[in-house]
């Protein structure tokens, strides 16, 4: 039994969705937590990544989940979505993540088309891009999709203070587990604590 099952069992007993705060943004950040995330992404499931910025987390998720998993990736900024849809990432940044041991060679092989040593950019494979629906989505006003897991990391602090509690309430009303980021948890602890069963973070990076 994984540590996550311990906490999610407590959430089930309390009749509440769980929320789990993790660390910073990057390719496969918090590498030791990914096996835990993936327990909640079985074949044919749907995941919603809300507030995706430059999309590294979305591509990591797609590379690590079965081909039958579909991902809805939303952000309020159309320019962010356009860049993500193009699926081009600086090779130097991917290489740095691999050197750090977060993103693996296997992740890169799944996520990107083969490249030459001299290439400055890597291109995400069409197979990965086809599994991702990129869409403009405002967490304050728009409908939330029905999914099995939500990633909404390091986004709440960008939402006006007066709207944060209502966004957390709307997330809780989906009855879906949510993975949040360190910034969401640190500054808005009370909102999450009111609506969710909190899964303590193991990583405070």
Ligand X SMILES: C[S@@+](CC[C@H](N)C(=O)[O-])C[C@H]1O[C@@H](n2cnc3c(N)ncnc32)[C@H](O)[C@@H]1O
Query: Where along the sequence are the contacts to ligand X (CB under 6 A)?
Result: 25, 50-53, 57, 75-77, 80, 137-140, 153-155, 158-159, 181
- Choice between 75 and 195, CB closer to ligand X: 75
Residue nearest to ligand X (CB): 25
DSSP one-letter code for 150? E
SS3 75: strand
The distance of closest approach from Cβ of residue 18 to ligand X in the complex, given in angstroms and rounded to an integer, is 18
- Choice between 25 and 70, CB closer to ligand X: 25
CA distances to 47, 134, 147 from 74, rounded to whole Å, are 11, 6, 13
Task: Using DSSP bridges, classify how beta strands 132-136 and 18-22 pair: parallel, antiparallel or unpaired.
Answer: unpaired
- Choice between 69 and 81, CB closer to ligand X: 81
The distance of closest approach from Cβ of residue 41 to ligand X in the complex, given in angstroms and rounded to an integer, is 17
DSSP one-letter code for 117? T
- Choice between 12 and 77, CB closer to ligand X: 77
Count of beta carbons in the 10 Å neighbourhood of residue 204: 10
């Amino acid at each position: 039994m994984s540590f996550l099952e311990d906490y999610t069992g407590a959430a089930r007993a309390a009749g509440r969705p769980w929320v789990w705060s993790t660390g910073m943004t990057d390719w496969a950040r918090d590498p030791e937590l990914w096996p835990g995330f993936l327990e909640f992404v079985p074949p044919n499931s749907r995941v919603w990544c809300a507030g995706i910025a430059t999309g590294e987390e979305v591509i990591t998720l797609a590379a690590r989940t079965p081909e039958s998993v579909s991902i809805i990736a939303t952000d309020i900024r159309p320019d962010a979505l356009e860049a993500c849809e193009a699926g081009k990432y600086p090779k130097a940044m991917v290489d740095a993540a691999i050197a750090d041991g977060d993103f693996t060679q296997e992740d890169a092989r799944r996520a990107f088309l083969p490249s030459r040593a001299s290439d400055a950019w890597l291109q995400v494979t069409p197979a990965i891009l086809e599994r991702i629906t990129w869409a403009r989505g405002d967490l304050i006003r728009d409908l939330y999709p029905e999914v099995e897991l939500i990633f909404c990391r390091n986004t709440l602090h960008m939402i006006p203070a007066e709207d944060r509690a209502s966004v957390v309430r709307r997330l809780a009303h989906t009855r879906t587990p949510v993975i949040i980021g360190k910034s969401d948890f640190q500054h808005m602890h009370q909102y999450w604590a009111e609506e969710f069963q909190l899964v303590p973070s193991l990583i405070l990076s």
